[in-house]
Chains A and B, each alone.
Chain A
Amino acid sequence: EAGVAQSPRYKIIEKRQSVAFWCNPISGHATLYWYQQILGQGPKLLIQFQNNGVVDDSQLPKDRFSAERLKGVDSTLKIQPAKLEDSAVYLCASSLERGSREQYFGPGTRLTVT
């Protein structure tokens, strides 16, 4: 079974530029999560999708971050414009359903904002 795929793996941009990350969850998984992990901290949930609907985006900085999962499969997370404090690893995870015991994590995208 293929795992959660993310691209790119690394990205370096200048502040005020925009960037987009892509996630392909495990086939058949209805729930998709985006986490932000700043160096030295644990992951923080940014947004959770159930199919193509948003379940929780309470910690998403909506003035600059946006995410979509139009067909209920792949998802993109965008930052526009980026700030220095957005430097982090962005992790995507998926689970069979919202209440599933297991979340399966992708390898992450490491973003550096200079």
Chain B
Amino acid sequence: KQEVTQIPAALSVPEGENLVLNCSFTDSAIYNLQWFRQDPGKGLTSLLLIQSSQREQTSGRLNASLDKSSGRSTLYIAASQPGDSATYLCAVKGSSNTGKLIFGQGTTLQVKP
């Protein structure tokens, strides 16, 4: 059974700092891995999606990497801003494109001005 774990559960950093969020999964047979952002009282917004054959994806100040063999992914946020404050969730999709998303518990990030 696939399990997804995110460390740390919460993180507080000063504005401008670079930071890394971690995600690990127990079954390496995944179709893809996705990072989401969740703001209080709002739904989830997809940030980056990495297919199982890819190693990383980049969007603006965000970079996500995937190491399937070790069951790990990281989300790197460069030059953090107060507007980056949110909960970040990673989710893996099972071995086919119709598999369900299995989510980690999330990392709540606070960026202080």
Contacts and interface: CB of A to CB of B under 8 A. Distances in A.
Contact of B4 (A42, A91, A110): A42
Contacts of B46: 102-103
Contact of A106 (B4, B43, B91): B43
A107 B43 CA distance: 4
Interface residues of A, number: 23
Interface in A16-61: 40-45, 48, 56
Contacts of B100: 45, 48, 56
Given A42-B105, A44-B103, A98 B44 contact: no
Contacts of A98: 97-98
Instruction: Kindly list the 3 A-B residue pairs having the minimum CB-CB distance in the complex, ordered from nearest.
Output: A42-B103, A105-B43, A99-B97
Nearest to B104: A42
Nearest to B100: A45
A107 B42 CA distance: 4
A4 interface: yes
Given A4-B43, A44-B103, A105-B45, 12 more contacts: A3-B43, A40-B9, A41-B105, A43-B89, A56-B100, A93-B44, A98-B97, A99-B97, A101-B49, A103-B46, A105-B44, A107-B43
Contact of A107 (B41, B91, B101, B103): B41
